[in-house]
Structure 1
Amino acid sequence: MAVSDAVKTAKRPWLTPGVGGIGTASFLADVGHEVPTALMASFVTSTLGAPAAVLGLIEGISEGLAGTGRFVGGALADDPGRRRRVAVGGYTATAVLSALIGVTSSAVQAGVLRGMAWAARGLRVPARNALLADVVPKHAYGRAYGFERTMDNLGAIVGPLLALGLVALVGVRTAIVLSVIPGVMAAGAIVFAIRQARLPRVAERRKLRFRIRPVIRGRLGRVMAGFAAFEVGNVAATLLILRATDLLAPSHGTQNATQLAITLYIVYNVAATLVSFPAGSWSDRFGPLVVTAAGVAAFLLGYVVFAVSSPALVVLGLGFALAGIGIGCAETAEHAAVAALAPNELRGSAFGLLATVQALGNVAASVVAGALYTFVSPPVAFGYLVGWMGIALVLLGWAGRRDR
């Protein structure tokens, strides 16, 4: 009987309406919040007349609130009933609050709304990831998270392009306000996914508890250590853009160098989009730790390119492509690993901890690497990041060996 049940589980389709709904929500939500994100710098500095330092303060505080939201959202998402409400509420609040930035008259108002929107965005992340594990068979976690990451990355490409088109047609303020449309549609897609999943109703609400120690105990803790080392070396793509701009400026001029660097960043996003779903399939076949390690290795090679790079476009394009492949593999496999290893009653906390590690690690990577880039040299900054990728590979190998 056990063998028969296993065969039936393996034959269950993974691309169900529930999975499709969550993937669609990720795409629409990214399109929605990438519009105000792409226009935020121009809106704050040109429309509202605030200095660049204020923009940096707004973005820094918002990222911090997003990290806090992810941690709190993990505890909320441990309860199956609560995670559904948090997911729907998080998508809706992010869309509405982000769109309201377009009607503000001061940088303070814009900053408050941006911070609130990013906190709501952080809250929904663990709930969405836990919901995805609820609606897909275990043998297909990799493909499901690969599909979700593909849709998310696709939204990151479409969003800025939509922002450019809307600005040309209706202006910056109206473009930001109109971003509410895909955002609210994303909330509708999550509602659709929950209804299609036909999840059982939960009779009793679980007490809200922040559970870290049970998550980092045993096998999942060893895996999280490898993930943490990777995230501390996973610098924001803006540093890659800066490096490309600095290398290209002497031969192309600052304006052309900036445009070329942004074009190379599109290569990064396209590479991440194309590799996310195959990475999920490889994760189901070879295991999520193997695919995560492959993504880390791609980042390591990409950082080496940026450390020793010449101003050749082909070489720089290779660096951006390797980084895009790295993030497509690593993010997909990280989610699949947590879904597979975390017990259902701790799944929300596990995804919350992963999201918090990702947020704090990215901040640490950007702050330290940015300081090294400015006060020492770009090769030293990227050499530092290469070191963390090497540590991550060692820890992931240790975790895999212990598992075997």
Structure 2
Amino acid sequence: MSLKPELYIGLMSGTSLDGVDGVLVDFAGDTIQVQQHATLAFPESLRAEFLALNTGTTDELHRAALAGNALARLYAQVVAELLARSGKATHSIVAVGAHGQTVRHRPRDFDATGYTLQINQPALLSELCGMDVVADFRSRDLAAGGQGAPLVPPFHAAFFGTPGVNTAVLNIGGISNLTVLRPPGGSALLGFDCGPGNALLDGWCASHTGKAYDDNGSWAASGQVLPALLERMLAEPFFALAPPKSTGRDLFNREWLDRQLAQTTSPQRPQDVQATLTELTAQVCADSVLRHAPGCDTLVVCGGGALNGCLMQRIAARLAPKAVISSEARGLPPLQVEATAFAWLARQAVLRKPIALESVTGARGARILGAIYHA
């Protein structure tokens, strides 16, 4: 007997600022089946606006409100594309999970609570799509004393966890984060941000080649790692912090990179800096695995970084003989993982299921994450 579909849409626009990924997911019978995937690139003007809002600009309230409207319209286009490709009707979708665009992330700063800010306009998205929308996933965890990030480790456990197998999941988006499904000491789950992923790589590549990203890491592969620069970057205090910890472009931005470059006297060809940034991402990711998941047999890699062959090779070389594989080998292509995670998080909110993130974010207990905007 076939089960009645339980359809959700997940939308993700990450720190890399390359665009929106959307998935249509069926959770019938508590299985997780991605039925459709669609993507839409950011217009360059909107990408530039988000970068400006991340680092501070003039008239921020006005500009952030309009950027939220523009993002909601992009989200709505992706939703429409998913429905068109799948042949599904609007009323068949239970809800849309829309994460929004993170422009500030300062957990526990200033007043011991801090804040995290995702630009979004879920009310407009609900109006445009005629569907329930779940958004604002991070703020309840923050209110409960947590970091508000990363939120995807429980989904990683639900999708990639295999009984009796020591697995870790590494997401390399703009920022990299690690999920340890069976951490040492018997903790149920461990997850945290490792540090930069693609954000510095993409920004440096764009400014020197005009290309949005280093395709397969080929430009980095043409350069040489600069040991003095790498040593200086690895001295960043964030890397030595114990979990729970999270970060973003608030720390790892072009100004941070320029400071490292200014304090390094060795000659710096652009391709050598790219090679060094690639090695930085590889080291902080691999060292996080070695430190916090020494017993893991397999590292599953997702996000855009999984498509960077040079980066994957460098991570694998540092972790040998552990297996380093793409999430596609486990049934979910790298660019679909985070969007699927937010479809899953939306479903948890609709079903009023608290999510236990104490060992990940440091929150005081399980909380229902997300606010629902009804159609």
User: What TM-score do you get using the length of structure 1 for normalisation?
Assistant: 0.26
Bigger Cα Rg = 1
**RCO greater where, 1 or 2, for CA within 8 Å and sep 6 or more?**
1
More strand as a share of residues: 2
Could you say which structure has the higher helix fraction?
A: 1
Task: Normalising by structure 2, report the TM-score.
Answer: 0.28
